[in-house]
Structure 1
Amino acid sequence: MPYFKLYYHFIWSTKDRQPFIDLVIEPEIYRAITAKAQDMEGFVHAIGGVEDHVHLAVSIPPKIAPATFIGEVKGNSSHFVNHVLKPDFEFYWQEEYGVLSFGEKNLSAVIRYIQNQKQHHADRTLIAEMERMDEM
């Protein structure tokens, strides 16, 4: 395996920003996202979010394009919700997503930001750049 240090911050939302990620589904969907990332040889540094979107800090190998990675993660996790967690439920992710690359020196700050999503949203201490999922 090649040596790499690639860090990405992905952000994506539920279809139409529906508040589907409740306290029951949240840990299960995060486990599915993490499992798929690991299956693709990725390393999850942090995962968090609120009821209508997810943030993921991850390192993925250079052989996988970020667009391919997020497509697989989103597809696998929505399939998991609809066929395992809540059969016949209509859970979908929005097509758009945001992705930022960052350096190792910023890793701890990105992890903190993601782990404190609920508090950031409650306090309105969001960093706009780290919340973008589409062209504005």
Structure 2
Amino acid sequence: MAFWRLYYHLVWATKERQPLITHDKEAELYNYIIGKADFLNSIIHAIGGIEDHIHLIASIPPSLSIADFVKNIKGSSTHFLNQNYHISNNAIIFGWQRGYGVLSLGSKQLDNAVSYVRNQKNHHSQGTAIASLEKHDDEA
């Protein structure tokens, strides 16, 4: 493969913006996503979020479209969590909302983006989240 350095800031929300990323699921979800990205020859530089959405700073190889990367991560992580946190009536307890937001980054922006994503909880609790970095769909 050719040499590549591509950086993306990705964000997507839980189904109906429900607070589904609970403390007991968060680490397992993040570790799963990192492992799945590695399987896809992609790199997760940072992952973070709050109960109703997630941010990733990722490097995705040019052989894999961003849409396919997101579809694979969202679909497989939903399946993973629903298999590991099932309830007696087999109701789906975890899901992602349709769509996602993506911004491309230059190498000079990488450190700031990583810091922003790793500190999501603080940004949201202190009101310092940046609206343009929180968009995950076409809504205003």
User: Between Structure 1 and Structure 2, how many residues are aligned?
Assistant: 135
Residue 55 of structure 1 deviates from its aligned partner by 0.2
Question: What residue identity is the alignment partner of 1:98?
Answer: G
Does residue 121 (structure 1) correspond to residue 120 (structure 2)? The answer is no
CA offset at residue 126 of structure 1?
1.0
- Normalised by the length of structure 1, the TM-score is 0.96
Aligned CA RMSD, in angstroms, stands at: 0.8
Query: Runs ≥4 in structure 1, deviation > 4 angstroms?
Result: none
Q: 2:69 matched to 1:66?
A: no
TM-superposed CA distance for 1:2, in Å, is: 1.5
1:61-99 Cα shifts (integer Å, max 9, x gaps): 00111001000000010000011x212351110011101
What stretches of structure 2 of length at least 5 have no aligned partner?
none
Amino acid at match of 1:86: Y
Structure 1: gaps spanning 5 or more residues: none
CA distance in structure 2 between the aligned counterparts of 1:62 and 1:118, rounded to whole angstroms: 31
Q: Aligned runs of 1:1-136 on 2, under 5 Å?
A: 1-83=1-83, 85-87=84-86, 88-90=90-92, 91-136=94-139
For residues 79 and 64 of structure 2, the distance between their equivalents in structure 1, rounded to whole angstroms, comes to 21
SS of equivalent to 2:67: helix
Work out the percentage of aligned pairs sharing the same amino acid: 46
User: What SS does structure 1 have at the residue aligned with 2:73?
Assistant: helix
- Structure 2 counterpart SS, 1:24: helix
